[in-house]
Structure 1
């Protein structure tokens, strides 16, 4: 009888969860994911637009794309509502929400892609912003190394532009576009 009630409960919760906004769904998934590496992979996939994710228990689920800032803010809102109560009903959930909030904020890096820092997108040229945006959502490994290597060797995003520069023909200055840091 208890297992039947658990199945009904889980079915109802799954149905209701699908009606929630993507960032709320992701916070729920992150709270259920115990391993740090799995949570980071989940956050990377969410930031990259969603897809299929295999959790710690080997179950595959479809995850939506969501904004990391929205995820961190949602976890923060839940934390605030829990902390304002006279007694905290579930300390484990409170701890997991703190972890979710901090990991989402850390993935934003507090820098370029962190929406809390609007000036970060204005101080770098658009080519660099685009490159770093692509780089941040990738899982560390060979693909990231290749992408960085290509840029450092003047391929892909690192290729020099054929646009004329303000420096003149005899200038020793670096090119004005690409990843050189000049616009």
Structure 2
């Protein structure tokens, strides 16, 4: 494999570096020194510059969404046979395997986003919450709905952060 190919593979293994290259905010020499690529630092930096030149610029879009907060959600078991939550008087917001986030008297808050959502929107939302040190207990996206579950005390802050994150989702 050529040095250029190795460098590109190393960048693709680090999505944050790929986004930074698209945005044009990379110190190529520092990035070259940080990568696990065998070769001269200047040659790796040159390969990074050429790779950045070949990338389309990072573009983002504003999403048409409705964001709402549901307090008091909790974790419940799901009956695997019928897909229903353990209690019939609760609504399932998100389920994976035999665990579900349901509307109940729980200590969690769900941020529910309806509209133009996808995995890219979910990634931006989770990254934004992590950057602000908001713990994400569960998250998922399906169809036109995205759900992020956080501790109740972080609910209002998470709502604002989710709205802000969805103002510029990379295309």
Shared fold by TM > 0.5? no
Which of the pair is proportionally richer in strand? 2
TM-score of the superposition, structure 1-length normalised?
Answer: 0.24
TM-score of the superposition, structure 2-length normalised?
Answer: 0.25
Higher relative contact order (CA 8 A, sep 6+): 2
